[in-house]
Amino acid sequence: MSTTPSVQPRTAFAPVARVHRVAKRYGTGDAAVHALRGVDLSIGRGEFVAIMGPSGSGKSTLMHLLAGLDTPTAGEVWLGEREIGSLDDTALTLLRRERIGFVFQAFNLVPTLDVIGNVLLPFELRGAKPDREERAAIGALLEELGLADRLGHRPRELSGGQQQRVAIARALASRPQLIVADEPTGNLDSRTGREVLALLAAAASGHGQAIAMVTHDPVAASYADRVVFLADGRLVAEEGRMDAARIARFMLELEVAA
Ligand SMILES: Nc1ncnc2c1ncn2[C@@H]1O[C@H](COP(=O)(O)OP(=O)(O)OP(=O)(O)O)[C@@H](O)[C@H]1O
Ligand SMILES: [Mg+2]
């Protein structure tokens, strides 16, 4: 078998996002918390990856690093061909706006903007306007998420589940290369949750978007192409598509071991 020639153009194979031996320590001395202890993970175009693990295992920390919202204590974070440690704040902000959609636990909606204003914000920030095709896709997305009759409402006039769906619509609307989602179905009933998961799966398979999704729910993780398990800041297992029952058994074993 021949070895891979090192002259291959790296960018042709560059994953959408990659962390290389990342560690993250919060605080110092006796108070130090080692949230991540050397994690490698790479997410390719069109790949839907679920990240699971016990509470406190480092999942949200990993999502913040992948999204370029925080920096590692050690190791590297790559977005496409760029190592983000080499970027200044402005360059990183621009790269994030251009490439990443976020759904975080706090939703981060702009309180003074209504639903449609929040969903179109990524376009606004880029100084772009959705074209006819994009407007039609956003209309369909809002319809599917059950938000079509709430477009003029502010976040505080919405339920938690509705706010979560607005955050999901915003992350999907501009079809960023990477979507980073922390418990995106956490506040949703099971039918709405399944709709959101189907939308994420379609974003990956239909539009080639890369998706990193943290979830505690084995059913949610069963929609992913790959399931990654974290425990105590380490990646302890990584599997291809798994059914929910098997994921649940895996999780149980991890929690027993922890
Ligand atoms: N800003 C912070 N300052 C100090 N410690 C932190 C901070 N953020 C997280 N930690 C600690 O880092 C560890 C990992 O936290 P993280 O939020 O990544 O866990 P998680 O896997 O997302 O958990 P959960 O499932 O409960 O959301 C925890 O021990 C947590 O207390
Ligand atoms: Mg978390």
CATH of the domain at 72: 3.40.50.300
Closest CA to 170 of 114, 211, 129, 121: 121
| 1 found inside a domain | no
Q: How many residues does the chain have?
A: 258
Q: Is the CB of 57 under 6 A from ligand 1?
A: yes
Ligand 1, pocket-test mutation among 33, 39, 71, 251, most atoms within 8 A of CB? 33
The Cα 145–Cα 195 span in angstroms is 7
DSSP letters along 151-175, please?
Answer: TT--GGGS-HHHHHHHHHHHHHHT-
One-letter identity of residue 180: V
> How far is CA 195 from its chain centroid?
17
Distance 47 CA to ligand 1 centre (A): 25
One-letter identity of residue 49: V
Closest CA to 251 of 226, 221, 229: 229
User: Which pLDDT tens digit goes with each residue over 123-172?
Assistant: 999 888 999 999 999 999 999 999 999 999 999 999 999 999 999 999 99
| 6 found inside a domain | no
Burial class (CB in 10 A: 0-12, 13-18, 19+), 123: middle
User: Which pLDDT tens digit goes with each residue over 203-225?
Assistant: 999 999 999 999 999 999 999 99
| 4 found inside a domain | no
| 8 found inside a domain | no
Domains: count for the chain: 1
Q: Residue 92 is part of which domain span?
A: 15-257
Nearest ligand (C-alpha, residue 52): 1
